[in-house]
Structure 1
């Protein structure tokens, strides 16, 4: 799958083996570069287009690219059968988070926005444990602790000095990452056959 919420399943496939093959490593590197640079492009484009026009253009372009691919794979009937769940996923994985991050981009640096986006694994572990009854390993707990520590080390002082002026944009970005984390659970529950 191409959207963020389902990358969990792709990464699980990659890390199920002992080592990454070179092409898998390069795919992850390319994916990281594309996703990481998207915050820079959002920061540059929001003043020119506006937040919601930018989201519309991004999702329209993605749809125009993906629809022929779906057609060529012969998957249009699956879309027709699951259209309600696909609509919910489009909200959770694209429309809502894209809009919230576009709003956030007007108030914070692209680097800070990308660090906020990096909280997705933290949300995923917390949601899995608190809501979906998944067990949390010691490694996952250590990862959450390191994640919070890393965010604090990178942006804690800056965030505290600007806390009042960026509280709403930061909350919007964190809500967006919560939507991304929910996407994986929703996909697993309703669309995995």
Structure 2
């Protein structure tokens, strides 16, 4: 049975810290809804109602584009191990770009990563847990090193050129606001 909470409690925070991946969902005023899996060391629970997530370079940039239109975001974690549970955090988010006044202050919460595109500062409005009884068991082996290898083979200029080519618009053709 689903249960709702006004904010994250200590048990929620512990559950989030135990998960190796999370999902982010956003949508603009029209067009496609985007749901993306995320991993690496890119998320921080800052308090009961606040989460920071550092977005690294990827093949698209839907989240940033959607947030330019509608600032709502849902984050979701699933347990693939012993305890069956799904946790969703609903809220609004603001996008912080490299060069923005508070970028350095927020970025210090994460390991440095040359391909960091944005930090999303999420203010939670509601947290919901549900059973997760139908989520399969899966074993975690390790984080992939593919992203780091890609970055290691690129200069900063190469990464910015990739943003120009692949990250300036959403798949619906809307701007993402990524700086170049």
Structure in which a larger fraction of residues adopt strand:
2
**Structure with greater contact order relative to length (CA < 8 Å, sep ≥ 6):** 1
Tell me which interval the TM-score lies in, with the shorter structure as reference length: under 0.3
User: Taking structure 1 as the reference length, what is the TM-score of the superposition?
Assistant: 0.25
Structure number with larger C-alpha Rg = 1
Structure in which a larger fraction of residues adopt helix:
1
